[in-house]
Copies of this chain bind each other. A is one copy, B any other.
Amino acid sequence: MSTSERLIESTRELLWERGYVGTSPKAILERADAGQGSMYHHFKGKPDLALAAIRRTAEELLATAEAVLTGPGTPYERIEAYLRRERDVLRGCPVGRLTMDPDIIASDELRAPVDETLDRIQELIAGIVEEGKEQGQFGPRVNGEEIAATVLATVQGGYVLARASGSPAAFDAGVRGLLSLLRS
């Protein structure tokens, strides 16, 4: 792997583990086994490197979500597959966690990939819910966009509950609760 690649990958890991504010160039360089000069040769600085890392993480997350949501099965089954897909729950969402970072929120450029990714997933889910409505699988009075927001929020909030308690149980409980409501 090239030095530039190692820098991006190390940054992705650290952003996931410690967030933007908690990630220093020094820590990135150590993990990537690179020197100061390399980083400032390939990137303009910490924000520039972080942007590259965030973009890649966002793309990867969207691809994973798309794969599950556009897979086989009824609308309910596809949403269930999304909710139950394998996750490293205690690590949290590598994209969603960035929204708690003040420096990310303060920068439109750094926030953009986060916003776009979550928005795109929400649209996908909304479409699936509308599909399910037409098929009579969901009640006619539910709103696709709203349910999509609920589904996404349950996942993002599930990470919060799990990390608070130090156990994935709360995440799973939230998902089961939502699925029980979607079924009834």
Q: Which of A33-41, A68-76, A139-147 contacts B (4 or more CB under 8 A)?
A: A139-147
Q: Which residues of the partner chain B approach A78 to less than 8 Å between Cβ atoms?
A: none
CB distance from A129 to the nearest CB of B (A): 9
Out of B101, B157, B161, B181, name the residue touching A181 (CB < 8 Å): B181
Q: Is the CB of B150 within 8 A of A161?
A: no
Candidate in A97, A101, A119, A173 with the most chain B CB atoms within 10 angstroms: A173
Q: Does A18 contact B (CB under 8 A)?
A: yes
Q: How large is the interface on A (under 10, 10 to 19, 20 to 34, 35 or more residues)?
A: 35 or more
Q: Is the CB of A19 within 8 A of B100?
A: yes
Within 8 A of B (CB), among A55-113: 92-93, 96-97, 99-103, 105, 111
Cα-based distance from A164 to B114 in the complex (angstroms) = 6
Q: Is the CB of A180 within 8 A of B96?
A: no
Binding site for B on A (CB under 8 A): 17-19, 21-22, 92-93, 96-97, 99-103, 105, 111, 114-115, 118-119, 122, 139, 141-143, 145-161, 163-166, 170-171, 173-178, 180-182, 184
Name 16 extra pairs, CB < 8 A, besides A19-B101, A181-B182. A22-B101, A97-B100, A99-B164, A100-B163, A119-B165, A141-B184, A142-B181, A146-B180, A147-B177, A147-B180, A150-B181, A153-B157, A153-B158, A153-B170, A153-B174, A156-B160
